[in-house]
Amino acid sequence: MMNAAITICYLLAGIGFIVGLRMLGKTQSARKGNWVSALGMLAAVLGAFLAIVRDSGAEFSFGNVVWIVVGVVLGGVIGAVTARMVKMTAMPEMVALFNGFGGIASLLVAAATVVWLGGNAGGHFSAATLFLAMLIGGITFTGSLVAFGKLAEKLPSKPILYSGQNVVNALVMLLVVVAGVCYTIWPDQWWIFLVVSLISLYFGVAVVIPIGGADMPVVISLLNSYSGLAACAAGFAVNNTLLIITGGLVGASGIILTRIMCKAMNRSLANVLFSGFGSGSGGSGAAAAGGSQGTAKSMTPEDAYYILEAAQSVVIVPGYGMAVAQAQHAVRELAEQLEANGCEVKFAIHPVAGRMPGHMNVLLAEANVPYEQLVEMDDINPVMATMDVAIVLGANDVVNPAAREEESSPIYGMPVINVDEARTVFVLKRSMRSGFAGIENPLFFKDNTSMIFGDAKATIEAMVAEFKE
């Protein structure tokens, strides 16, 4: 009876995860998909609890139950409070931390299993899976903490490089591989497990610090995949089918997303991880404004209103600046005013806009912007020349024409949204500073571009006020 109940719980959990993941692929069903996945996790926790009761047998005690309940309640409270309190601008950092927590959980499961087995991992296959769970989990944990620091600007967003860095990392990786083979052959040598667990924590830092802040969306999706692979390995180690399925789903989806992000930047994963992209110095506001590219023109929101009032088509390109200003609701109101004035409005979304995959989609969905108005980069670029106005809202690198025009640019060849082809371009920024990639943007000096300086939310609200008056 107990075995049947556990099987049912695990089956429901697996179905919930697969169906929920499928529903998360579409904006219309994403919210329900989140609930379906959460119910799947509830079934998984219940199944794991029943499995503990079954396996404990005569050694079962309610003291163990208390600890399990305390852990579940404490984790639930922390998760609920965090989800309520976190700002949308801090969502990328939160995702990075979640990836890290998943990694350290797998490491602790592997370590607890080794301790429970008295330092002997058992068979060779068990030793190999425990080693992988520990190694990938440790890398994911500290790597995610570094990603968090870069996203939260508590660490320098530029790559941290030193001479011979890739060689050192390669030697460390070779040492880890040799240690893994040795531990698999001699699973009773538990000290190897302990030493490599410490190395894995170092290695997580070592592989992320050389990556610039502009590549953090790719890093987040890759670390997400790592956390799934670590969980999958832990599932093999503790013989838990559901953990294997769940880890496989997360690992596979993370790898697919990573590939999509790399394709969006026209770069290989190896280039992201090892190139040190963004290590050059970006232009300051003063340097940019007075540089050889020309002089940027500025405009007030009131002047921009007259152009918008006569426009028949407007495309809005959101970026991280919209998240910082929390301007998504004001942007939706501006779009409504434009539509009421007979204008067609579209939102052009670049795959790596913001600081995590889908960042802009989440913000616009929060503001109830109709999904039908969201247009992908490949669909908007062919018709950009027909658009009367393009409003760049805090985006920078994803609209940089240097990716098409300057072969010497670090981002040359990266697909960007060609806003410079629109008849008129408004760029809403606080200053002339470069973007997260640390390179200047020639768009600011184009003849059809006008800069509107100031807080993005206040600027948009001023435009809305002009329409209402």
Q: What is the pLDDT of residue 178?
A: 93
Q: Which residues of 405-431 are buried (b: 16+ CB within 10 A; e: fewer)?
A: eeeebbbeebbbbbbbbbebbbbbbee
The pLDDT tens digits for 254-309 are: 898 888 888 777 777 877 777 665 554 444 343 333 344 668 889 999 999 999 99
Residue with tokens 């040799």: 178
Task: Clarify whether residues 392 and 307 are in a common domain.
Answer: yes
- 95 and 186: one domain? yes
Residue 185 and residue 318 in one domain: no
Give the pLDDT of residue 287.
Answer: 38
Of all residues in the chain, the percent with pLDDT exceeding 90 is: 39
pLDDT at 29 over 60: yes
> Are 299 and 257 within one domain?
no
- Identify the three-state secondary structure at position 405: helix
Last residue of a domain, one of 253, 279, 305: 279
The mean per-residue pLDDT over the stretch 142-158 comes to 86
Is pLDDT above 90 for 143? yes
Last residue of a domain, which of 260, 279, 298? 279
Q: Which two tokens stand for residue 99?
A: 């990836």
Cβ–Cβ < 8 Å for 354, 322: no
Residue 43 has pLDDT above 80, yes or no: yes
pLDDT of 311: 94
Find the mean pLDDT for residues 135-148.
Answer: 93
pLDDT reported for residue 437: 62
Is there a single domain that holds both residue 10 and residue 94? no
Q: Which residues fall within 8 angstroms of residue 331, CB to CB, at 6 or more apart?
A: 316, 318, 322, 364, 367, 369, 393, 460
Q: Which residues make Cβ contacts (< 8 Å) with residue 110, sequence separation at least 6?
A: 130, 131, 133, 134, 137, 193, 233, 234, 237
Please check whether residues 80 and 111 belong to one and the same domain: no
User: For the sheet containing 389-393, what is the strand order?
Assistant: 374-376, 344-349, 313-318, 389-393, 424-429, 449-453
Mean pLDDT, residues 122-149: 90
Distance CA 287, CA 285 (A): 6
Is residue 397 flagged as an active site residue? yes
Q: Is the pLDDT of residue 144 over 90?
A: yes
Same domain assignment for residues 122 and 156: yes
Residues 280 and 432 sit within 8 Å (Cβ to Cβ)? no
* One domain for residues 257 and 120: yes
Query: Which segments of 138-233 are extended strands (E)?
Result: none
Q: Is 73 in the same domain as 126?
A: no
Query: Domain range spanning residue 311?
Result: 285-468
Question: Residue 348: is its pLDDT beyond 90?
Answer: yes
The total number of structural domains in the chain stands at 3
Mean predicted confidence (pLDDT) in 430-438: 73
**pTM given for the model:** 0.77
In sequence order, what DSSP letters do the residues of 243-289 get, joined into one string?
A: HHHHHHHHHHHHHHHHHHHHHHHT--HHHHHHS-TT-SPPPPHHHHH
When pLDDT is cut at 50, 70 and 90, the band that residue 231 belongs to is very high
Of the three residues 279, 294, 314, the one that is the final residue of a domain is: 279
Query: Range with the lowest mean pLDDT among 350-359, 398-407, 455-464?
Result: 350-359
Q: Please indicate, yes or no, whether residues 15 and 146 belong to a single structural domain of this protein.
A: no
In terms of domains, do 175 and 228 share one? yes
The one catalytic residue in 55, 215, 397, 420 is 397
Same domain? For 123 and 172 the reply is: yes
